[in-house]
Chains A and B, each alone.
Chain A
Amino acid sequence: MTDAHMQGPFIAAIDQGTTSSRCIVFDRDGRIVSVDQKEHEQIFPKPGWVEHDAKEIWTNVQEVVAGAVEKAGITAADVKAIGITNQRETTLMWDKNTGEPVYNAIVWQDTRTDALCKELGRNVGQDRFRRETGLPLASYFSGPKVRWLLDNVEGLRERAEAGDILFGTMDSWVIWNLTGGAEGGVHVTDVTNASRTMLMNLRKLEWDDRILSSMEIPAAVLPEIRSSAEVYGTAKGGALAGVPVASALGDQQAALFGQTCFDQGEAKSTYGTGTFMLMNTGDEPVQSYNGLLTTVGYRIGDQKPVYALEGSIAVTGSLVQWMRDQMGLIKSAAEIETLASSVEDNGGAYFVPAFSGLFAPYWRSDARGVIAGLTRYVTKAHIARAVLEATAWQTREITDAMTKDSGVELTALKVDGGMTSNNLLMQTLSDFLDAPVVRPMVAETTCLGAAYAAGLAVGFWPDTDALRANWRRAAEWTPRMDADTRDREYKSWLKAVERTMGWIEDEE
């Protein structure tokens, strides 16, 4: 019983994240055997710029792999495959002969390519490449970051055109190093990571020549696009030498996979600092007319690719942190629930945290945050309640957009991430969505998704049905709010959202 999961074989998952790198060892039931984690430095050279030292990251990855293997008390022989998941869009270029990065990795949050993106939009605007890539021209995505590096690192373009330079997102960097680096490392990326570069054609799953020439990026630097679950190579050296490297998935897609959202219409939402919701839309990419992104969900081996719609909320957990750190209304994040539970409702107050504009589905950069509906009656407890409701309403707005774009009604929402420990928030979410909200038993769905994909690739698990059988419901919240109240509250929320718009004038 307790010790059954200590018997092998195992799968190791590496999560190269924005703030840290982790390695988790899983058993056949998908249970966690051991975890090791190491944070890396966030480098802020200028306002709006965010970089990572890729060499530090590779060192950390090697250390956490060794650490997790040691804590589990196992050897490489017990591990059947290594899976990779990673922070998406973060961009690195390195010399293929020496393995030396030519510049720090430019992190997805970095906004240095804002002006470049406007320029690339020419007379069409931010949707210039949307039909091919599913993405608007925005500073998150890798393509413009590659262009920036080619334009700004001395001599880089010449070296790139000569074939000495490789580009990759963090999955490519980790896999290349794991499989030997300058001595025969494989230069690959998977379809989910490639779908965030703005350089890949979503339907063909190939690099798009027209976009490459528009962005002036030489094809020689690009990795080979592979599926999310297949053996790319074997680890050379290190704690897991000889083990096949068998999956790669961007972090949000990995969570979709870990939550076993394998059917069309199944969706997951990850509640952290921000929130990312993805819905499986089956084997056809769905163009969004409601401010969502179209992306690849996953592709297993040579099976058909599975697509997803994605909506993100910029400020969720970070709003609770703001209440704690900037307002001082609570001492710990968990206390927001205590404070919010001390009142029955929001007292008429609505909090729209458009701190840096409104994102999906509005995309209004001229918006700023408001607290609306204030009266003498409102207390800090009502504001705390409004804070939690803001996360729930924003999720509702995204699910509404997904329903409009895909024509599929949400039947249940699978949730994960730190904020799922907030019982009041989860109940409110179910009330506002008018759908059940379900939390799975393994909170680490991102790593689990990478482990699942790697395990499928090497036959550790036979098929996705076996993975579904591993999925366990830890808790479920069902709607308790009557339709009239829900509709009235939603109307008030939408009124509050309207009041955020146009605050910043002369937006350039």
Chain B
Amino acid sequence: MARTIQSLERAAAMLRLLAGGERRLGLSDVASALGLAKGTAHGILRTLQQEGFVEQDPASGRYQLGAELLRLGNSYLDVHELRARALLWADDLARSSGESVYLGVLHQQGVLIVHHVFRPDDSRQVLEVGAMQPLHSTALGKVLCAYDPVAHSQLLEAEREAFTVRTVTALPDLEGVLDLTRARGWAADVEETWEGVASVAAPIHDRHRMPVGAVGVMGAVERVCEEGELRAQLVAAVRDCARAVSRDLGAGRF
């Protein structure tokens, strides 16, 4: 049998105990019900309380289940909520960068575009909301794979097509790209998906610091890059936008 972690088993037992009725339990009730020393029980309860799984009534000092537990079951962020929160910031990013802006989330081994702001010139453009982009080659996809473990595992299973000569398809190389993405906080795609097109993207986090999506700009490589490198100002604008949306979703400053 695989080794188990005793303190986690005890924490689970405590949650079951507190879920067992409408009662609020004091520290000694919990300790004696589970046959634990008061100090041990208190340490576990305090940890659960910090995570929001348990709440302590300020008047009586008794413990009950926390609101966080309820949220866990149905806490995924609605993508339309994400779009509504991102609208203002995405508009501003398009205006300041002069390029089109995309907001993507993980969906069926790819990136689902949930919001698209046109490039602010008078050219004819088609709304791409609902379109899919590949995970392994686009800036949005790389950001999702770097920050979201589920996206990362899907990347391993997905077919990784070489769209251009610059597409990175070998896993060890891709892992290197994702390490770099995590280290600098943004990802790039310079002609790896479409010839002549480059993009930059950064992660959006929710209030639990969970990665919920990515936002990025995309445009002609001649405008987006300067001497073979992505323009630093553009990278800064994308990261500012991602942080602003994250803040609106309740993520702290980071």
Contacts and interface: CB of A to CB of B under 8 A. Distances in A.
Interface of A: 1-2, 4-5, 29, 31-32, 332-338, 418, 420-423, 441-443, 472-477
Contacts of A441: 91, 94-95, 117, 120
B169 interface: no
Given A1-B97, A423-B83, A443 B88 contact: yes
Interface in B65-81: 78-81
B236 interface: yes
B84 interface: yes
B240 interface: yes
Contacts of A421: 80, 83-84, 87
B153 interface: no
B207 to A, nearest CB: 14
A475 B79 CA distance: 18
Given A335-B78, A441-B117, A441-B120, A477 B87 contact: no
29 contacts: A1-B237, A2-B96, A2-B233, A2-B237, A29-B95, A31-B92, A332-B78, A332-B81, A333-B84, A334-B78, A334-B83, A334-B84, A335-B78, A338-B80, A421-B80, A421-B87, A422-B80, A423-B80, A423-B83, A441-B117, A442-B91, A443-B87, A472-B94, A472-B118, A473-B122, A474-B118, A476-B118, A476-B125, A476-B127
Contacts of B36: none
B135 to A, nearest CB: 23
Contact of B94 (A1, A336, A474, A477): A474
Interface in B101-147: 116-118, 120, 122, 125, 127, 129
Interface residues of B, number: 28
B78 A477 contact: no
Nearest to B81: A334
A338 B118 contact: no
Given A475-B127, A476-B118, A477-B127, A443 B91 contact: yes
A423 B78 contact: no
A418 B81 CA distance: 12
Interface of B: 78-81, 83-84, 87-88, 91-92, 94-98, 116-118, 120, 122, 125, 127, 129, 233-234, 236-237, 240
Contact of A1 (B80, B96, B116): B96
A443 B87 CA distance: 9
A443 B98 CA distance: 17
Contacts of B117: 441, 474-475
Contact of B95 (A31, A422, A477): A31
A305 to B, nearest CB: 29
Closest 9 CB pairs of A and B: A334-B80, A334-B81, A472-B120, A421-B84, A337-B80, A334-B84, A2-B237, A1-B233, A441-B91
Contacts of A336: 80
A420 B84 CA distance: 9
A182 B83 CA distance: 47
B240 A2 contact: yes
A192 to B, nearest CB: 26
Nearest to B117: A474
Nearest to A1: B233
Contacts of A31: 92, 95-96
B96 A5 contact: yes
Nearest to B90: A474
Given A441-B95, A442-B91, A443-B87, A2 B236 contact: yes
A114 B122 CA distance: 48
B237 to A, nearest CB: 5
Nearest to B93: A2
A423 B234 CA distance: 27
Contacts of B88: 443
A423 B94 CA distance: 18
A488 B249 CA distance: 42
A2 B233 CA distance: 7
A420 B125 CA distance: 18
A439 B212 CA distance: 25
